[in-house]
Structure 1
Amino acid sequence: MARSTARKRALNTLYEADEKGQDILSLLAERIEHPGAQTPLPDYAVEIVRGVAEHRRDIDTVLGECSTSWKVSRMPVVDRNIMRIAAWEIMYNDDVPSGVAIDEAMALAKTLCDADSPNFIYGLLSAVAAKTQENTQENTNE
């Protein structure tokens, strides 16, 4: 299954947990055990959801630091979770280049978000990528 599809399925799970105020990992366990009418979650979707759950505090901190106008808690739920997925890929998944993570986030945003969201998401994720690259270079130089 394509990673694009896995990202969409991960987004559905993160969105549901966020909307319900449910623990991400407990919802993930439910979805794995009882996929319902849908096909089982792809392995990469599970990896994304676990990664976001494990690093959500750090991801939200970086998103908040890079946002000039919105607190993470005030961002629309879909936008916030699209950015969490991309930020996890940028910050923690070396297999996915930052540009790919941003492009995939943009594809989701263009189909699922309101008209203003893609520009905001692009700008914020670009800042996350730059900050992550900066931190990586600093750690390499130490």
Structure 2
Amino acid sequence: MSRRQARETAVQVLFAMDLGKIEFEEAFNHVTDEFAISPRAKDFSKELIQGTIQKLPELDAIIKQLSRGWNFERLSYVDRNIMRLALYEIYHREEIPPAVSVNEAVELAKIYSGEEGGRFINGILGRVVASPEKFRRVQPPVGT
């Protein structure tokens, strides 16, 4: 199984859901029907997406705290969803080393967002990896 392929699929689905405001099943079926993905990668991708969706308020609160000077809604959809996925892995997938999550996020950003996106994402995620407990305690604002 290619975990990179699964992560790429996960980012594409999260992006489609965020930009198109469509439901998980529709976005997942569209992306996985469009691109050839192995059954194991498809299963792993689905786990990542569902976990990210479940923890979205927590993940977005961390991104908002760390991206001071940037309006969260103005972050690119791609960058936002790559960071969401990586943060989910860092905090909720203990079998994945944080350095792997960061590296994969930066590589995805280079493909889908460009060098600037990769540097921005590396900076945000690097701060999290350096002090994970500091940001774990970030609570989403009420009503978000």
Asked whether the 8 Å contact 1:83–1:125 carries over to 2, the reply is: yes
The equivalent residue for 2:78 is 78
Letter in 1 for 2:16: E
Query: What residue is the counterpart of 2:12 in the other structure?
Result: 12
Shift of 1:68: 2.3
Structure 1 residue runs of 5 or longer lacking an equivalent are 137-142
Cα distance change, pair 135–20 in 1 and its aligned pair in 2 (3 A)? closer
Aligned to 1:2: 2
Point out the more displaced range, 47-56 or 67-76: 67-76
Whether contact under 8 Å (2:109, 2:117) holds in the other structure is yes
Amino acid paired to 1:125: L
Identity %: 28
1:135 & 1:115 partners in 2: Cα distance? 25
Q: Is the aligned partner of 1:38 residue 2:31?
A: no
Unaligned runs of 5+ in 2: 137-144
User: Is the contact between residue 13 and residue 27 of structure 1 (CA under 8 Å) also seen in structure 2?
Assistant: no
In structure 2, the residue matched to 1:114 is: 114
Aligned residues: 133
Q: Does 1:99 align with 2:99?
A: yes
Paired with 2:63 and 2:102, the residues of 1 have a C-alpha distance of 14
- C-alpha distance in 2, partners of 1:57/1:69? 20
SS at match of 2:115: coil
Q: Could you tell me how far 1:134 is from its partner in structure 2?
A: 4.3
Deviations 1:62-104 (A, max 9, x none): 1111112213221101111111110100111101111100000
Calculate the aligned-residue CA RMSD, in Å. 2.2
